[in-house]
Amino acid sequence: MSGREAFQPQRAAEIIAAGAHREGPLLPILHALQEAFGRVPEAAIPMVAEALNLSRAEVHGVVSFYHDFRREPAGRHVLKLCRAEACQSRGGEARAAEAQIALGVGWGATSADGAVTLQPVYCLGLCAVAPAAMIDDQPVGRLDRSRLASLLDAARGDA
């Protein structure tokens, strides 16, 4: 799972400086910030804006445009469930309903125990082993009911 460091301006400044020399540096920097802090911290936005000579509104606009960037940290694990057509054809919607019931949350939310954030995705490129999911960066295919249940159990078991 990506980092859950507490926000530290010094650390954020290092990350921004390390990426600022690239051509088109904004997305790589936002990815790196999220990698370190588990989210794009609000306090980092003016720092990024200043370093890249952009307005805060521009940086905000980019952060909010992309589905990947979080403003709040995710749970200890992120379960991405594929909602797209190939997975639909193999019962993906049933898995989605089961996951929502088991976690007690809807799309984009984190279970009350902080263990799992449930995220919808539209295709993981695992369409020939559908239905598919990704837990943290681990791909999972042929996701039947019991496989999903054991994934969720394992994710919630490791505090």
Partner 1 sequence: MTDVRLFVPRDAGALAVGADEVAAALRAGLAKRGIAGEIVRTGSRGLYWLEPMVEVATAAGRIAYGPTTPADVEALLDAGLLSGAAHPLRLGRPEDMPFLKRQTRLTFARCGIIDPLSLADYGASGGWRGLERAVAMTGLDVVETVVRSGLRGRGGAGFPTGVKWRTALQAPGARKFIVCNADEGDSGTFADRMLMEGDPFVLIEGMAIAAIAVGASKGFVYIRSEYPHAIETMRQAIDVARRAGYLGAGIAGSPHAFDLELRVGAGAYVCGEETALLDSIEGRRGQVRAKPPLPAHHGLFGQPTVINNVLSLAAVPFILAEGAAAYADFGVGKSRGTMPIQLAGNVRHGGLFETAFGVTLGELVDDIGGGTASGRPVRAVQVGGPLGAYFPRALFDTPFDYEAFAARDGLVGHGGIVVFDDTVDMARQARFAMEFCAVESCGKCTPCRIGSTRGTEVIDRIIRGEGDRAAHLALIADLCETLKFGSLCALGGFTPYPVMSAIRHFPEDFAAVPARAVGAGTP
Tokens coding 109: 């939310």
Q: How far is the CB of 3 from ligand FES (least distance, A)?
A: 27
Secondary structure letter of residue 117 according to DSSP: E
Q: Using CB under 6 A, which of 79, 115, 132, 151 touches ligand FES? A: 132
Number of residues this chain uses to bind partner 1 (CB under 8 A): 48
Q: How far is the CB of 143 from ligand FES (least distance, A)?
A: 10
Number of residues this chain uses to bind ligand FES (CB under 6 A): 12
3-state secondary structure of 107: coil
User: Of the two residues 41 and 141, which places its CB atom closer to ligand FES in the complex?
Assistant: 141
Q: Rounded distance, CA 81 to CA 143, Å?
A: 10
> For residue 52, how far is the Cα from the chain centroid?
25
Does position 126 bind partner 1 by CB under 8 A? yes
Residues 6+ apart with CB under 8 A from 41: 7, 12, 33
Binding site partner of 141, from ligand FES, partner 1, none, Cβ cut-off 5-8 A by kind: partner 1
User: Of the two residues 25 and 120, which places its CB atom closer to ligand FES in the complex?
Assistant: 120
